[in-house]
Amino acid sequence: MKNSILAATVLGIVWCAPHEALAATEARCAALEASCVCSEPLQTTVFNQINTYFWDAADTTSADKQCHTIVSAPGYEGTLITHGSRIWSSLNSGPAWNALPAGHRLQRIQLNNEGPTGGFSLQHLWATDPIPTARRAQRLYLYYTPNFVFSEDYDNNVQPGVDCQNSGKTIQLSEQGGGILTFSSGMWLVHAWAYKYDGVNSHWGGAPTDQAQLGATGQGLTMNYGDFKGKWWRYEIVYRNLPGPKTIVEVYLKNVTDNTPEFKILDTSQPWVYTDRWGNQTTWTQSQSDNLSLAQGGWDMFWDLFRNPQPGRDNCAGAYGFTHFMAAAWSTDAGQRIGAAAEIEGGAADTKAPARPQGLKLL
């Protein structure tokens, strides 16, 4: 009997070990080996606040490949999230939980409090990492509550009487260089390219401007505000050939709640023309595509989930959910991707880039 109990105990330890490891290290990170730069699955209820603004998820430790935001110094490892207070909860029930794909293996997700966030971001600091520059990627899963208000919802009478400023901003392509990817006016746009980090100079080269330009490709041109709501979306941003010229930035998007095909919403290698409803035209030219560059001081990007109410008009209804952040880098530019988190989407991650969109129309 004692031997049976001992055997059962040993078997129990062996059986449980992989499950426990998933909480600290995402399976995709382990599969990518050295190409995985950092991974924060966010499978914890405990977040340690460091120096007021930085938050370290307790499911990863110094033994793991931790991410770090803004400050790269001893004691700041694992600080993926930046905000002055904890405005999110760790949940394993409710609408956001129920919107996850069937068969997922998560223990919990993170969901922001209802309403405005102020400045809220998730980020890994690239600039100080001695890692490859041929190809870099970051991936994050985002959820939009069913009542989520975008800034343009008011203008398009989707929800009359509301107008939540900055709601729709998603990725700042360069923390010190600008370039903000935003869903606005019913499509994806990049604006504020020419941010002057010192009041004079910009880290971007190749003549991008402050105009809203470089719009969506393919399906990203036909999305609606309602498409996002009540769904989990996998975002992945890829940087190719840093520092350039001919740096290429691509962003991929997939609705994982409904398991629809992934599509590309941004590709700086493609010229683009857009005419707005007032007849104003902006362009992204072949010359800008061929000469785009990003100096090392601007290599840090972040997920810019800033939302604030228009004074006297609304309270920014809705909230973001988030989970499973990862960063990776490769010394070759051969179509590599981070792809899916098996813990969320099941199976092996598909990391083959989708085919270049065909039959696109210039607006």
- Quick: pLDDT tens for 93-107: 999 999 999 999 999
Give domain status of residue 359, yes or no: no
Give the mean model confidence (pLDDT) for residues 137-143: 98
Task: Please indicate, yes or no, if residue 360 is contained in any of the structural domains.
Answer: no
Burial category of 15 from C-beta neighbours within 10 Å (exposed 0-12, middle 13-18, buried 19 and up): exposed
What gap in Å lies between CA 7 and CA 149, rounded to an integer?
56
Assigned domain for 13 exists:
no
Whether residue 101 is preceded by a cis peptide bond, meaning omega within 30 degrees of 0, is: no
Cα radius of gyration rounded to whole Å, the chain: 21
The model carries a pTM of: 0.86
10 Å Cβ neighbour count for 115?
17
Residue 354 placed within a domain: no
Q: What's the number of domains the chain is made of?
A: 1
CA 48 to chain centre: 22
Q: What is the DSSP string of 68-88?
A: --S--STT-TTEEEE-SS--E
pLDDT of residue 10: 33
Whole-number pLDDT of residue 358: 39
Specify the pLDDT at position 281. 77
Q: Identify the pLDDT of residue 309.
A: 80
> What range does the domain containing 91 cover?
26-345
Q: Which DSSP symbol is given to 151?
A: G
- pLDDT tens-digit profile of 232-277? 999 999 999 999 999 999 999 999 999 999 999 989 898 888 776 6
Tell me the mean pLDDT in the region 153-173. 72
End-to-end CA distance of the chain: 76
Q: Does 332 reside within a domain?
A: yes
| pLDDT of 161 above 70 | no
Question: In this structure, is residue 16 part of a structural domain?
Answer: no
pLDDT of 4 > 50? The answer is no
Could you tell me which residues come within 8 angstroms of residue 111 by beta carbon, excluding any fewer than 6 positions away?
A: 88, 89, 91, 94, 96, 143, 145, 319, 320, 321, 322
Contact partners, residue 79, CB within 8 Å, separation at least 6: 50, 54, 55, 56, 67, 68, 69, 70, 71
Q: Is 7 inside any structural domain?
A: no
More confident residue, 117 or 314: 117
Cα 170 off chain centre by? 7
Q: What is the pLDDT of residues 272-308, one digit of tens each?
A: 887 766 777 778 888 888 999 998 888 888 999 999 8
Structural domain contains residue 361: no
> What average pLDDT does this structure show over 122-131?
81
